[in-house]
């Protein structure tokens, strides 16, 4: 197992190196000039030339990339052209917000999607199956930003049940140790702060988690339906085993492998796809910051944040592969 983990970690190096090349070329292919975007109305030939020289945009692309790669090796992701803040500091400041939102969305998707998909598989061809499949199709087809605005309009503006935006009520004097607001509230025993942070996660978590929920439900239904037709399930039923025992030992465990793969992929997509949700709810996470960086042509922020996300995505895939061994002993042996 240790050899497998080390091998997978070693394989991440060429993947991230190749991504850095593609990313470097992509951000410089974006239309517009970062110096002009930074200066705005104050832009004139002299100031543009000064900013261009300061950040090395006038150097050959190969020299720019080698300098950027050398900084990456030392752990330096550069500084924002717009704010001057270190990309690493910005990431550590905003990453907890995106992680909290992604975990809330994933928890909602898994806790609802797997049971719903299992029930649909158990009732194939019946009204429950039709409702679940129709609902999952609607969930996949609904744009995240539209659902976010709709949830905000109904539950925050009309019913006043939930807050409209931000991560926490500004009137709460909370202590932030890790920038994970829920965790900070629990660690400091500031229960009102922890509860308020969780309440602020409800609407953006529901909006962001709807598409993963629909996908997980559909994959679970298909996987469980396939397992239900296997010979060993029919053998277990003929032996008189209870449905609960058959479901736990034979159906769910064997149907979980494709579901776990889907959950891992969705977890990575949630981290990279929270831009619209964070923008609608002013959640102050990585997505909102990345959205602003794209508009301002902030090269260091774009490169650093996307590389961070790619690294996290690779680690999530490693955890998914390790989970295979826990679910299916045959995978662990191989």
**pTM to 2 decimals?**
0.83
On average, the pLDDT of the chain sits at: 84
28 and 100 housed in the same domain: no
21 and 109 housed in the same domain: no
100 and 56 housed in the same domain: no
Whether 46 maps to a domain, the answer reads yes
What is the C-alpha separation between 145 and 215, in angstroms, rounded?
Answer: 18
65 and 204 housed in the same domain: no
Q: Which stretch of DSSP H or E encloses residue 132? A: helix 127-141
Neighbours of 10 (CB within 10 A): 9
Whether 82 maps to a domain, the answer reads no
Whether 88 maps to a domain, the answer reads no
At what angle are helices 191-228 and 127-141 packed, to 10 degrees? 120
193 and 53 housed in the same domain: no
Q: Which residue range forms the structural domain that includes residue 30? A: 2-73
Whether 89 maps to a domain, the answer reads no
35 and 174 housed in the same domain: no
Phi and psi, residue 66, nearest 5°: -65, -40
- Reference 252, options 276, 220, 230, 284; nearest CA is 220
162 and 210 housed in the same domain: yes
What is the C-alpha separation between 204 and 278, in angstroms, rounded?
Answer: 7
Interval 209-221 mean pLDDT: 93
Number of domains comprising the chain: 2
Out of 73, 106, 126, a domain closes at 73
What is the C-alpha separation between 119 and 137, in angstroms, rounded?
Answer: 16
pLDDT tens for 79-101 read: 887 777 888 888 888 889 999 99
- At 86, is the secondary structure helix, strand, or coil? strand
What is the C-alpha separation between 277 and 210, in angstroms, rounded?
Answer: 12
103 and 245 housed in the same domain: yes
Say yes or no to pLDDT of 308 above 60: yes
């Amino acid at each position: 197992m240790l050899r497998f983990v080390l091998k997978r970690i070693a394989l991440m190096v060429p993947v991230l190196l190749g991504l850095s090349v593609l990313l470097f070329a992509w951000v410089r292919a974006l239309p517009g000039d970062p110096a002009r975007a930074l200066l705005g109305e104050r832009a004139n030939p002299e100031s543009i030339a000064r900013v261009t020289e300061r950040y090395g945009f006038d150097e050959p692309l190969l020299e720019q990339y080698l300098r950027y790669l050398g900084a990456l090796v030392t752990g330096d992701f550069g500084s924002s052209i717009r704010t001057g803040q270190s990309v690493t500091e910005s990431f550590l400041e905003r990453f907890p917000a995106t992680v909290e939102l992604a975990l809330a969305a994933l928890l909602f998707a898994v806790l609802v999607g797997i049971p719903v998909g299992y029930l649909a598989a158990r009732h194939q061809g019946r009204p429950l199956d039709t409702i679940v499949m129709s609902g999952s199709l609607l969930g996949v087809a609904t744009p995240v930003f539209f659902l976010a605005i709709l949830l905000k309009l109904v539950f925050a503006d009309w019913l006043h049940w939930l807050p409209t935006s931000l991560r926490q009520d500004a009137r709460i004097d909370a202590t932030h140790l890790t920038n994970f607001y829920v965790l900070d509230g629990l660690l400091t025993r500031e229960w009102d702060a922890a509860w308020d942070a969780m309440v602020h996660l409800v609407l953006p978590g529901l909006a962001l988690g709807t598409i993963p929920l629909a996908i997980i439900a559909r994959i679970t239904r298909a996987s469980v339906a396939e397992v239900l037709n296997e010979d060993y399930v029919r053998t277990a039923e003929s032996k008189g085993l209870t449905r609960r025992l058959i479901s736990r030992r034979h159906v769910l465990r064997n149907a979980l492998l494709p579901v776990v793969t889907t959950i891992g992929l969705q977890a990575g997509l949630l981290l990279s796809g929270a831009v619209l949700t964070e923008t609608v709810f002013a959640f102050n996470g990585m997505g909102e910051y990345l959205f602003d960086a794209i508009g301002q042509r902030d090269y260091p922020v774009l490169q650093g944040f996307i590389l961070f996300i790619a690294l996290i995505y690779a680690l999530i895939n490693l955890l998914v592969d390790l989970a295979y061994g826990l679910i299916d002993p045959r995978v662990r042996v191989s």
